Amino acid sequence: MFHKEGHKIIVITFIITVVLSLLVNHFVTTEWLRISLLLTFMVLLVAILQFFRNPKRSVTPDEDHILSPVDGKVVVIEEVFEKEYFKEKRLQISVFMSPLNVHVTRFPVGGNIVFSEYHSGKYLVAWHPKSSEENERTTVVINTDRFGDILYRQIAGAMAKRIVNYAQEGEHAVQADESGFIKFGSRVDVFLPLDAKVKVSLNEKVKGGISILATK
């Protein structure tokens, strides 16, 4: 199953792959070169299909858990001053996504969406310390009964040139449901209350909508 954000790119890539393959078969007579080019086209097509895959995940919402919003690796666990919304100290957990990860963003908690904002910006590498404040990004805040306000931020990376955010203020977020998509490598920051109990460690691999980042 492939994500809707990739349907157009997949069709275009498929058509280009077919056309180039036909041209190579017709005009390239050197056997090793022809096979090398055809394999290259196939690898690129498979890479695009892999990137836009969207595996189904069955999750039972649990208000006591804050789930990872994306697949990837935990690269930050620290106390920081969140400037945009809370304007106070929060516990930040950041998950970095490589181009090989599933890039669907999911709601880490369920509740009312009270804030959703898009910011244009730079395209620093996603693990850069300033990427959370200077890169293209979206900030979403969900009000929960158990944890209060939980903020997560989609951040574009050096390769990611488009962030898709489905979260709209005033709507209700269902935990683990799709909330957006980031095209190519990037990261997502989650800002939690200082008393949240972290259940992941640095460099741990997590899955969106499944892995538990923290509990109360």
| Residue 186 among the catalytic residues | yes
Residue at 173: amino acid letter: A
Residues 154 and 166: their CA atoms lie apart, in Å, by 12
CATH architecture under which domain 65-215 falls: Distorted Sandwich (2.70)
At 51-60, the pLDDT tens digits run 777 778 878 8
Q: Domain boundaries in the chain?
A: 4-51, 65-215
pTM, two decimal places: 0.82
Those residues whose C-beta lies under 8 Å from the C-beta of residue 30, and which sit 6 or more positions away, are: none
At 31-73, the pLDDT tens digits run 899 889 989 989 888 878 877 777 788 788 899 999 999 999 9
Q: Tell me the C-alpha to C-alpha distance, in Å, between residue 138 and each of 149, 156, 195, 202.
A: 16, 9, 25, 24
127 secondary structure, DSSP code? T
Those residues whose C-beta lies under 8 Å from the C-beta of residue 204, and which sit 6 or more positions away, are: 73, 74
At 122-153, the pLDDT tens digits run 655 555 555 566 678 899 999 999 999 999 99
Pick the catalytic residue from 116, 131, 132, 186. 186
